Chains A and B, each alone.
Chain A
C-alpha cells in the first residue's frame, strides 16, 4: 500500500524560470518555497490540505451533531436508510446506525488528521532514531540496525501493520501505532541513505577538519541537511496513513464505538449496504481519496522543489 513514491521528475516549475532566486544567499528551504508557490500542483494540494485542516479543527462548530451521536436512530429500519435530501435536517442522509452522514464526514476529518499525524510522527520519530544511529555511527551499529530494518521490510507493509494491531487489540490507538511502526523501516532506510550520501560532502569534511566531534557533526550538520527527503516522505506518509487506516478498518481492526466518525470505518460498514445505499460508501471513499490526493500533491511538489536535479545550478 504505502511505499516510497518515485519522483515525478520534470515537474511544472521549469528549471530556467527567471523568477527563481538563484543567488547564493537564498537558503534551500526559502528557494523551495518560492518554487512551490509557482507550482499549480502544490497550490491545489495546499488548498485541499488547508480545507481539510479547517474542517478538522472546526468540526465542533461546523458539524450539526456530535460524531458519535445517533440523532436519526428512530428513522431507520433494517430495510430503509434515508438517503441524501430525503429527510429534513440531514442533508446527506443517515447511515446504518442512525448517525448524520454530514456530521460524521466532518468529524471524520478530525479522526483522519489525528491518525495521520500521530502515526506519521511515530514512524518519523522511530525511523529517525534508527536512521541517525545507523547513519551517524556506521560500523556494527549500522549493520545491526539495517539487518533489523531489512527483516521488517521483508514483510509486506500492510501485513506488518496487521500483525502489530493483532497484538495490541482493537482500538484506535492500535491502528495509529500499527501504521506508525510499519513506517519506521522506510524512514530509517531513507534517512540513513541520505546521510551516507552527505558524508563525503565538502562541508562535512570541513567540519571534520575543524575537529568537531562526531556527535556534533551528526546532529548539527549531517541530520539537518538530510531532512529534505524525510520531510517529503512524511508528507506522503500522511496520505498513505489515511488509506492504510481505512484498510485496517476494512480488515476489522478498528475498535471503539461502531458508529465512530472515521472515514475508514464508515466505508467498512457501508459495504453491507452497497446495493441499497451506495452513497454511504462513496462519500467517505471520496473523502479519503481527496485527502490522500492533497498530501500526495503537496509532498511531490515539495520533493521537486527540494530536488537538486531540478534546481538550477
Chain B
C-alpha cells in the first residue's frame, strides 16, 4: 500500500524459472514439485556435498526494523519473510493467499468472524510453542497500541488496513480474538473487510513470539527522541517460526541469519543467509561479478542483457505493478477533458516501453495488472495518434499547444519505475511533438518529490506508480481514486461512491463485475494515463539454479536451489 514498501518488490515466474532449471540439473527436476524427502536425500546423498550452503544476497539498504509489525519497507520485509511466518501465506508465483501457519480457515456468512485451524507442532525459535494463545497475543498487541505506536511512521500497515485501535473502537475493523484450545482460533471483526485473508499474508501481520516480544520490550519505541526510535526487540531480538533465525546485524554492513534446526517445513539447502548492504545498483552488479554476492534485486534494465550474456541468471518477476502519468486537475489546462484526452493520444506507450523499461514490461490500458480481479479487457483505450491529439488541443482552444509543469523524481529506482529520468525525457519529447511544452521539475524522491506531488496542489503532470501487496483491486484503484486527493485534484463523488460500495461487497464474483465497471468509468474520466506494468528482475550467480520469484515478493530462501 505504501509506496515506500515497494523498494524491492515485483513479480516473477516461479514456474517458468523451474522449467528452465529442469533442463540444467536433474536434481532441480526432482525438486520442482517441492518434494521434501527427495531434497533431503539429495542433500545428504553426497551428490551435492560440494554446495556452499551460505547464500549472500545484496540488499539495497538496511531493514528499517526487525519487527515487521513496525515496518513497511521492502528490505525489512525481505528479511522478515525468512524469520517470520503469518497465518496466511501466498500461493507460489501468484498474489493469491494460501495456507501457512493456519492450515485452513472458514469465514462466517456475514464476513465478521473467521475460524482458523492452526498447524500443530510449530515452535518459535526461542522454544515458545506456536498456538492459539500466541495468535491472540499478536492480534491484541496490534490492537492495543497507543500514542506513537499508532503513528503512520511506525505501524503503517495495521493502521491503514485495520483502521482503528483499542482507544478508537468506533473506527476499528478488528474486534476480538478467541482461542479455542491450542489449535483453533476465531478472529472477530467489527465490520466486513473483504481483503482480510489476503491482507494477513503481509509480513506486517506475521506471528511473533509472545515471550520474546515481552522480554525485549518490543513495544517500547519512541521514548523521548524526535523520530521514532527502535525497540531492543526490533534492533536485534526478532523471534518467529520461520526457517531462519536471526544471528547478527552489523548496521550498514551485513545482516546474518542461520537455519532454524527445528523448522517444521522443508529446510532446503541453505544453512546461512547473509544480507549484504550495497545501496548503489551498479555496485551490486559489480559485487555479483566479483563473486562476493550470490544475487540482488531490481536489476537495472540496461544490465539484464549483458549479465545474461556473461552467464548470470536473470529471474524476472511477473509484473504486479503500474506506472502512470498523473494529470493534476488543479492545473486549469489539465482540468479540460479534451486536453487530457489529447495527452493520452500523444503518448506512444509501446515506444516508451521499448526504449526505457525492462524486458517483460507490458503496456497498460488500466490501473490494475491483468491478474487482478476486475481487469476489464474491453476498457476504453486512447491509441497513439499525434494528429488526433493536435486536433483535440485545437478544439480545447490550444492550437499552438501550451506549457505545463512536469514533476519527476531523481536518483531513485522503484520496481515500477527503474529509471524515472529516462521515462521523463521520453515522455517530454513525445509531448513536445504535439506542441505541449513541459517545464521540468525534478526533485529528490523523499521527502521532496512525494511531498510535492501528494501533499500539495503545486504540480502538473507527474510520474508515480504502485506495486500491489496482494491480489486486491481496491489495493490499486481504491488507493489512487477512492477519495479526493491533492495528487489528482479532482472531485468525482460518483467514482468515490462506486469504489466505496465495491469494497463492502462480500461476494467475489459480484465484486469483480463492479470493479470492471469502475475501471471503465475511470478510463472514461481519464484522470491519469496508465503507462505500463514494468517487470522487475533479479540477478543471480550461475550456481543459483532456481529462485522462487514472486509477484508480491513472497520469496523464502529455503526454496532456492544451488548447484555448487
Would you call B168 an interface residue if the criterion is a C-beta within 8 Å of the partner chain's C-beta atoms? no
- A interface vs B, CB < 8 Å? 70, 73-74, 76-81, 96-98, 169-170, 252, 254-259, 269, 271-276
Which residue of the partner chain A has the closest CB to B358? A78
**Would you list the 5 A-B pairs with minimal beta carbon distance, nearest first?**
A78-B301, A258-B421, A79-B305, A252-B411, A97-B425
CA distance A193 to B448 in the complex (A): 42
* Cα of A270 to Cα of B311 in the assembled complex, Å: 24
| Interchain CA distance A255-B411 in the complex, whole Å | 11
List of B residues within 8 angstroms of A257 by Cβ: 425, 428, 440
Docked-complex contact A272 and B281, CB < 8 angstroms:
yes
Interface residues of B in 218-270 (CB under 8 A from A): none
Partner pick for B282 among A78, A255, A274, CB 8 A cutoff: A274
A79 contacts B422, CB within 8 Å?
Answer: no
Q: For residue A107, give the distance in angstroms from its CB to the closest CB of chain B.
A: 16
- Give the residue among B302, B424, B428 with the most A Cβ atoms within 10 A: B302
Residue B354 interfacial (CB < 8 Å): yes
Question: Do the beta carbons of B422 and A97 come within 8 Å of each other?
Answer: yes
SS of B interface (majority) = helix
* Contact assessment for B302 and A70 in the assembled complex, using a CB-CB cutoff below 8 Å: no
Please count how many residues in chain B sit with their CB below 8 Å of the partner chain's CB atoms: 35
| Contact (Cβ within 8 A) A81 B442 | no
Give 1 or 0 for each of B259-297: 1 = CB within 8 Å of chain A CB: 000000000000000000000111001100100000000
> B442 contacts which of A74, A80, A258 (Cβ < 8 Å)?
A258
Chain B positions 434 through 470: 1 when the CB is less than 8 Å from some CB of chain A, otherwise 0: 0000001011100010000000000000000000000
Query: Which residue of chain B has the shortest Cβ distance to A269 in the bound complex?
Result: B421
Task: For A254, list chain B residues within 8 Å (CB).
Answer: 410, 442
Q: Is B303 an interface residue when CB atoms closer than 8 A count as contact?
A: yes
Residue ID in chain A nearest B305 by CB atoms:
A79
Tell whether, in the assembled complex, residue B302 and residue A78 are in contact, meaning their CB atoms are under 8 Å apart: yes
* Chain A residues with CB under 8 A of B289: 275
Chain B residue nearest to A257 (CB atoms) is B440
**Which residues of A are found within 8 Å of B440, using beta-carbon distances?**
256-258
Asked if B37 is an interface residue, CB under 8 A from chain A, the answer is no
| Complex CA distance for A255 and B443, rounded to whole angstroms | 8
Query: Which A residues lie within 8 Å of B357 (CB)?
Result: 78
Residue B371, interface by CB 8 Å: no
Contacts of B301 in A (CB 8 A): 78-79
- Name the residue among A98, A258, A273, A274 with the largest chain B CB count within 10 angstroms: A258
CB-defined contacts of B182 to chain A, threshold 8 Å: none
Asked, given contacts A252-B410, A276-B303, whether A78 binds B424 with beta carbons under 8 Å apart, the answer is no
B426 neighbours in A (Cβ, 8 Å):
73, 97
20 A-B pairs within 8 Å (CB atoms) are namely A73-B355, A73-B429, A74-B351, A78-B304, A79-B305, A80-B305, A81-B302, A97-B421, A97-B426, A169-B443, A170-B442, A170-B448, A252-B410, A252-B411, A256-B442, A258-B410, A258-B422, A258-B425, A259-B421, A274-B282
Q: Does B359 contact A (CB under 8 A)?
A: yes
Contacts of A269 on B, CB cut-off 8 Å?
421
Q: B366 near A: Cβ within 8 Å? A: no
Among B281, B410, B442, B448, chain A packs the most CB atoms within 10 A around the CB of B442
The answer to whether B410 touches A275, judged by C-beta atoms less than 8 angstroms apart, is no
| A271 vs B281: C-alpha distance when bound (angstroms) | 9
> Are A275 and B355 touching (Cβ within 8 A)?
no
Q: Which residues of A contact B443 (CB under 8 A)?
A: 169-170
